[in-house]
Structure 1
């Protein structure tokens, strides 16, 4: 029964994550309730989540909602940032980041909620040296954050891509999903090297996450911006509330 509930949580988390990020809010507690040790939870969840992000990334790419030229610049920076982040996690106390990230993720959710026009239209004007450089710095920092800490990565990616490039929510979600996959992949390599993955559980949950990711991406592509935005706002605020709970308890 516990295994079934874990797989169900994995399915739901991947469905939500493929649309607007925040899936870890569901999957990480589920792995913890299953009884895995904290480090094993992170590694096992990362394995399953990476398969899901790969699935949704491919679907977004095939749909034409990603910018391959942009990802050529930003992708390697996201991957590199995550490698640096995973190595930092062993050296720096995460509690110093908690308050800052809590404020930022809450700001992202509330700003989007009250900014009625944000992300509704695609105002992308093309690439130039300035937005490429800004995007590369942004991708590295979010990749580093994902490898080091993680909560709200999907929300930060979508919000940042909208603000830097003028994407609508759908195109920001597609490009953000690919960047998230690359940072996940880098983190996964590091967790695997450290032996922090329970493969028996990870592979089973991954199957359910793949299905969830496919259905979530399909829903996002079919229903578009007006479907993504409320989920994005909801998940951003829920991640912030979860972090607040962990911070004060």
Structure 2
């Protein structure tokens, strides 16, 4: 095991805190943590696996905070959790076999649609009007949990946004949607982490310090979200989806125009 420099350690801790602050509420923390791990010198597959280790520690903290605040529908998410776990394990396995590039154009379009819908539906997600699942909504959220679990293991970017959007469609407000989404995200993170470990794609030397920083970032992030309510989470949600859209477009510019 090579020695980790104090400069790299400070860099990873700072990046981990910032990533978890955002990720604890609306997802998107990988926009910060994965580039940080790549900058630290890890190969892409190991950076993804190491990020899952750190992100799992942060997601567990967020889930506990949301649970204590009563912002999670426990009865619902317990039923959905196995689907998210199964999907994520399958996603990590498949990404070892085939490239994830073909999904990116679809994800970009979906992110744009999610953002436009959220911006133009005034007052949406400010109040909770969820009552109970119908047969139709039960099928919808079960399929969403399975497919987004798979997507989280396969590619990952934007998983939090899509999960929150799914719960918003059921009638939860933004804070409750964030809490419910975080439980499923925790399940998919754990499944993905175990699968990455089976492929020896986790660097614990980098992942554990970043994960500890993510615990503190998640504590602060969830408390700020719970205190400031749905309006704050909506602004953060839109902001992160716009950043994800911008990054996706920039990736295409670099790949196809700046060759």
SS of the aligned residue for 2:72 comes to coil
In structure 2, the partner of 1:106 is: 112
Cα pair 1:109 1:234 within 8 Å, conserved: no
CA contact 1:86–1:190 (8 Å) conserved in 2: yes
Partner of 1:4: 10
The structure 1 residue matched to 2:173, chosen from 168, 176, 179, is: 168
Could you report, residue by residue, the CA deviation over 1:67-115 in whole angstroms, capped at 9, with x for unpaired residues?
1110122111111111111111123331111111011112212321232
1:7 Cα deviation from its structure 2 partner: 1.1
What is the alpha-carbon distance in structure 1 between the residues aligned to residue 137 and residue 201 of structure 2? 37
Unpaired runs of 5+ residues, structure 2, are 1-6, 255-259
| Aligned pairs (5 A) from 1:71-220 | 71-163=77-169, 165-220=170-225
Q: Report the structure number with the largest CA radius of gyration.
A: 2
Spell out, residue by residue over 1:183-225, the C-alpha distance to the aligned partner (whole angstroms, 9 max, x if none).
Answer: 0110000011111111011111111100000110111111110
Which of 200, 219, 228 lines up with 2:233 in the alignment? 228
Contact 1:14 1:209 in 2 (8 A): yes
Q: Report the TM-score when normalising by structure 2.
A: 0.93
Structure-1 residue corresponding to 2:4: none
8 A Cα contact 1:110 1:237, kept in partner? no
Runs (4+) of structure 1 exceeding 3 A deviation are none
> Which of 63, 76, 87 is 2:69 aligned to?
63
Deviation, 1:64, is 0.9
In angstroms, what is the RMSD of aligned CA positions?
Answer: 1.1
Deviations 1:38-91 (A, max 9, x none): 111001111000100011001111211111110122111111111111111123
Q: Does 1:48 align with 2:54?
A: yes
Residue aligning to 2:3? none
Aligned equivalents of 1:46, 1:66: Cα separation in 2: 23
1:3-27 superposed Cα distances (whole Å, 9 cap, x missing partner): 2122111101100111111111111
